[in-house]
Chains A and B, each alone.
Chain A
Amino acid sequence: MGCSVEAVSTIFNIPNIFRMKISFKKQFLVIAISTFSSVALASEYRSELIVLAEQFKSPDLETQYAARRGLEMLVAKASAPNVSRGVAKINGDLLYGLRNSSVSREAKKYMLRQLALVGSNQAVSSLNRIMLGSDVLLAENARKALESIEGSRATSVLIKAFTKAGVAGQKDLIRSLGKRGDAASISLIGKSLEGADTGIAIEAAQALGRAGGERAQSLLIFQYGQIADDGLVQALERSILAIGSEDSVILKTLFENGSDVAIRRAALRRLLKQGGSEVLEALRSGLADEDRDMRSIAIRAGLASDEAAFRDAVVEGSKDMDSAELGVLVSGLASIDRESAERIAIRAFDSGDEGLMVLALEALGHWGSSLSVDLLITAYGKGDKVLRIQAASSIGRLQSEKMDQRLADMLRSESKDEVESALELLAYRNIPQAKSLLLGLVAGDDEALVKSALRALPPIATQNDLEHLLKIAEGAEGDSRRLMVSLLKKLAPTVGSDSLQTKVKQL
């Protein structure tokens, strides 16, 4: 008996999940189950299914799990796309198992779960019987299987079951019908909106929102005009939004009178997306709303609109915005022209509010032009740590050759501070002239600048640069030479050629 689970699993192509560390006796059972699962495709699945069902009765938990997994694999293999009539066969065999009195309740539960994945019309009658039966656990699983089976037969039995069910059962059935979204069930769900039980009506509202379609929308809107219960009104409002209503009268009503601020915001978003001159009033109303998030949504949605009038309204309104609103505006500049975006960001930077200044710097990195070069360099040079970090990042991103030129000029500057700043910024921006200027500084007399230039060199150094540095080092003295040699020894093994490495070793 030298055959391990691992070996058998490999032979029968059983997924790793199935390879458990279990005792030898259990291995036998597992192997038997697995073997049946694997060879089942050669014929009908019934006998294999019954063997698996038997294993569900085992007191051993690992065997029970193996049976569960075996059933899952058997159904998966039967329903694979390349298996001829596999779905029909496995449906028939699962139904046989469900009818079989010797099959345990636990096994039936898992068979029902499998029918939720592969069930077809042929399973509907049997599933209906189980759903209407006295075993609550099996009934619930049968309903879930019917919920996922395509076709009018499943819808029909779910509708018929509704009249026989209690309140809890009716709620479950409404959810199932809502998920299916078949037109045939919309009337029934609609009637449930009008019923005496508010809980059922709320479920019905949600189900109609999920089901979608014009009829569902009409029912929701009609009830919205009739209902007084706060909970149901909210459910109707949410479902009208979920269903994607584009009725501007309704949307404006939701925006003005929605039962909570989230509904009002959602309605405003939808209105602004629709556009149209009459919606401009809603935008202005949103921009002036007492709720900050409403104002923020109005700013965002207005900026993102295809309509220039909307974007203009937001930009015009920016003059009266406080720093928080300007923050929202500055973070949403992607939607407007670069020139306006840059102007707004510069104005935001000038506000003096540090949080807003950071956002403005970030925006300038994206939307800035040559006009922003000085501002960014100044922010880097004079700002606090947070501003410096953001300014450096934006200096790296700015799409302007003037920034390259400015950094090159700084590297040539008489001011040591400017040179030092430029050297630091080379870690963020890869400018074309950087290496020659850096190596020029390395060859200079100012030891502090030599040190800074050497610190900036590694990220951009190539073999040629190291050759150049080697020549400078050979003519240098003191601390500068020591630093150059140290850097060469560090970089040569990764960037340099063999011959360069040899020369560096000889230094």
Chain B
Amino acid sequence: MKNLTRRSAIKKSLKAAVAVSAPMFLSSSVLGRGGKTGPNSRITIGLIGHGKIMKGHRQYHLGRDSVEVVALCDVDQRKLDLALAEVKAKTGKTCPTYEYYEELCARSDIDAVVVGTPDHWHAQISIEAMKNGKDVYVEKPMTLTIEEGKVMRETLHRYGSVLQVGSQQRSNASFRKAAELVLNGYIGKVRTVSARLGEFPAPSQYPAQPIPAGFNYDRWLGPAPWEPYNIERVKGDYGGGWRSFWDYGSRKNGDWGAHHYDIIQWALGRDESGPVEFVPKGYEGTEKQYYVYDDGVKVTRGYSREGAMIHFVGDDGEVMVSRGDKFETKSPSLKNVVLKTSDIRLYESSDHRADWLNAIRTRKQPICNVNIGHRSATICQLSGISERLGRPIYWDPVSEQIVGDASAAKWMSRPRRAPYGLLG
């Protein structure tokens, strides 16, 4: 029945018979359905990548009545075993585990996935999930390359998925208040912003070590270039590990930068745009990496642990905001400003994961949607490209192209190792 219908449609199509006065629909009742859980029902979730960051997601989702964790996936059997033990301890139930995310994504009874893998896997897994009709929570930065971001954006718009990027500072009241003050001109014209990222150790080579039993290292590498196994390369460590390798991320720019650049974009009203120039540390004596918007606002990277995480300086005041609800202003009275009704009020969320779950039910896009995630990740990536090339990069945020530098433009994509070829 299905093929006959398909074939007859193709015939019509190839004959350019666009006239559709007699719709060829089959009755809905005779067609198979996806059986996806809907609003007011439990949202079924698969958790992919069980490193450090997934621990918080597991605890959150395992503790909620509105959510049911029904599948786990990791390329490391040891991590899967630990995660499954946690599921059993908290729910008294077990659930299937997977080495290959494709098998998890193919399950029609799963509504949504959380992607907590290293950065170089974010895009491919998220895309596969969306193509299978899932909604996605993907850790920050959303992507490893600018090309990946564009493909993710296209895929989301094609399938209508709900996607939240894990830049959870947007769901914190202090960061929102800071952004609202800056956006509404309470510190006057913004001149400079500093973002405290800290530093990773310099990258290095590591000797080959035996691959531990139960760990699919080739799959862990995935589309990244092949390199010999070493624990330093794969470990999840906020002070280094895979985060400090260019092959799997954008180092500190993709780590803390993904959080802070995201808030800066929000505060400057640039969620659909971005900076125009990126200058690396060391270029013609430049002491600190920075980027510049078309109106001259300069965002400088901080390397130490001193000062606020994000510091906005305007003509009429300053706003300093950090995690832990550390929020200060100059003058201090700015801190308590109540916005006027004519002021712009930003999207309000007090719980990043709950905002995503709510968006799944209502089909709206959440606070840190794919467009925002892509634009923020683009800043991380362009900062990294500029650092690796040792020269400034000029960016057109409208056409989303590197300007006047053909070889730098090649860095917007990265060759993908076989067989992890095409995205989209």
Q: Do A and B bind each other?
A: yes
Say yes or no: A19-B40 contact (C-beta < 8 A), given A221-B14, A269-B158, A459-B336.
Answer: no
Whether the Cβ atoms of B363 and A65 lie closer than 8 Å is no
Say yes or no: A207-B422 contact (C-beta < 8 A), given A15-B281, A117-B410, A293-B363.
Answer: yes
B12 at the interface (CB under 8 A from A): yes
Closest to B403 in A: A81
A473 → chain B, closest Cβ, in Å?
19
A296 at the interface (CB under 8 A from B): yes
Closest to A281 in B: B23
B10 → chain A, closest Cβ, in Å?
3
Interface stretch (choices B81-89, B163-171, B200-208): B200-208
A27 at the interface (CB under 8 A from B): no
Whether the Cβ atoms of B133 and A260 lie closer than 8 Å is yes
A250 at the interface (CB under 8 A from B): yes
A368 at the interface (CB under 8 A from B): no
Q: How many angstroms from the CA of A207 to the CA of B422 in the assembled complex?
A: 7
Which of under 10, 10 to 19, 20 to 34, or 35 or more describes the interface residues of A?
35 or more
Q: How many angstroms from the CA of A2 to the CA of B364 in the assembled complex?
A: 63
B282 at the interface (CB under 8 A from A): yes
A53 → chain B, closest Cβ, in Å?
16
A interface, by DSSP: helix, strand, loop or mixed?
Answer: helix
B275 → chain A, closest Cβ, in Å?
19
Whether the Cβ atoms of A398 and B28 lie closer than 8 Å is no
Say yes or no: A14-B205 contact (C-beta < 8 A), given A117-B410, A260-B133, A262-B132.
Answer: no
Say yes or no: A393-B348 contact (C-beta < 8 A), given A17-B387, A253-B24.
Answer: yes
Could you list 19 A-B pairs, sorted by A, with CB under 8 Å?
Answer: A17-B202, A117-B407, A118-B410, A140-B418, A172-B418, A172-B421, A206-B424, A225-B9, A247-B13, A252-B25, A261-B33, A262-B131, A262-B133, A278-B23, A289-B33, A293-B36, A299-B363, A327-B361, A430-B341
Residues of B in contact (CB 8 Å), total: 88
B337 at the interface (CB under 8 A from A): yes
Whether the Cβ atoms of B158 and A242 lie closer than 8 Å is yes
Interface stretch (choices B51-59, B210-218, B373-381, B388-396): B388-396
Whether the Cβ atoms of A210 and B422 lie closer than 8 Å is yes
Whether the Cβ atoms of A429 and B341 lie closer than 8 Å is yes
Whether the Cβ atoms of A281 and B361 lie closer than 8 Å is no
Q: How many angstroms from the CA of A289 to the CA of B338 in the assembled complex?
A: 46
Q: Mark A1-26, 1 if CB is under 8 A from B, else 0.
A: 00000000100011111111000000
B414 → chain A, closest Cβ, in Å?
8
A166 → chain B, closest Cβ, in Å?
12
Interface stretch (choices A72-80, A94-102, A312-320, A375-383): A72-80
Whether the Cβ atoms of A228 and B160 lie closer than 8 Å is no
Q: How many angstroms from the CA of A423 to the CA of B230 in the assembled complex?
A: 61
B153 → chain A, closest Cβ, in Å?
13
List the interface of chain A (C-beta within 8 A of B).
9, 13-20, 61-62, 64-65, 68-69, 72-73, 76-77, 79-81, 87, 113, 116-118, 137, 140-141, 143-145, 147-148, 168, 171-172, 175-176, 178-179, 203, 206-207, 209-210, 218, 221-222, 224-226, 228, 233, 238, 241-242, 247-250, 252-253, 255-257, 260-262, 265-266, 269-270, 278, 281-282, 285, 288-293, 296-297, 299-301, 323-325, 327-328, 330-332, 355, 359, 393, 396-399, 403-404, 426-430, 458-462, 494-495
Instruction: Among B202, B404, B413, find the residue whose CB has the most chain A CB atoms closer than 10 A.
Output: B202
Whether the Cβ atoms of B6 and A222 lie closer than 8 Å is no
Q: How many angstroms from the CA of A425 to the CA of B223 in the assembled complex?
A: 54
Whether the Cβ atoms of B284 and A13 lie closer than 8 Å is yes
Q: How many angstroms from the CA of A285 to the CA of B28 in the assembled complex?
A: 8
A376 → chain B, closest Cβ, in Å?
13
Whether the Cβ atoms of A266 and B38 lie closer than 8 Å is no
Q: How many angstroms from the CA of A278 to the CA of B285 in the assembled complex?
A: 64
Whether the Cβ atoms of B133 and A265 lie closer than 8 Å is yes
Whether the Cβ atoms of B205 and A430 lie closer than 8 Å is no
B339 at the interface (CB under 8 A from A): yes
Whether the Cβ atoms of B419 and A171 lie closer than 8 Å is yes
B26 at the interface (CB under 8 A from A): yes
Whether the Cβ atoms of B424 and A398 lie closer than 8 Å is no
